[in-house]
Amino acid sequence: MMDMRAQTIKTMEIPQEEKRLEKQLCFAVYATAHAFTRAYKPILDRVGLTYPQYLVMLVLWERGELPVKTIGEQLDLDSGTLSPLLKRLEQSGLIKRLRDLRDERQVIVSLTARGEAMKGEIDTIMTAIGQAAGCTLKEMADMRDMLHRLRGNLGRAGANGG
């Protein structure tokens, strides 16, 4: 059986025009992510959340109480980034953190009544960001699906060492 890593990948001839920064897919995704964050800011300011806090709240609104570790896995955030986020959400009275009685090493995060009530804001937030994006729901779903596929491919390539 042939070792896949031993095979050399044939290098494509890429036209000079395609090598420009604005032609790079990676830059388009990167710049779009920043534009999303900027577009979300005034929308989320009205409900008192930052974009990363909003992502945490989305996970909790969808899944209920969860261990910190699971939230980190869902959002692809390490504990050094996630812990301060959770602390601020707790100080705002939106979540509570309690040690798991069955496993002291785990901290369980759950919504407070105030955090649960904030779930009613999702439609307003999503409508506003949809209007800012200027896309139909179908277009957004198609782009999302393509990006999920791209992320999966890149994840597999990274896991296989290239």
Q: How far apart are CA 68 and CA 98, in angstroms?
A: 10
Count of CA atoms in the C-beta half-sphere (13 A) of 44: 16
- Of residues 2 and 88, more confidently modeled: 88
Q: Model's pTM, two decimal places? A: 0.81
Task: Give the pLDDT confidence of 109-155 residue by residue, as tens digits.
Answer: 999 999 999 999 999 999 999 999 999 889 999 999 999 999 999 98
Task: Give the pLDDT confidence of 6-58 residue by residue, as tens digits.
Answer: 556 678 787 777 778 888 899 999 999 999 999 999 999 999 999 999 999 99
Which domains can be identified in the chain, with CATH numbers? Answer: 48-117 (1.10.10.10)
Q: What is the pLDDT of residue 137?
A: 86
- Of residues 64 and 2, more confidently modeled: 64
Task: Give the pLDDT confidence of 57-89 residue by residue, as tens digits.
Answer: 999 999 999 999 999 999 999 989 999 999 999
Beta carbons of 59 and 66 less than 8 angstroms apart: yes
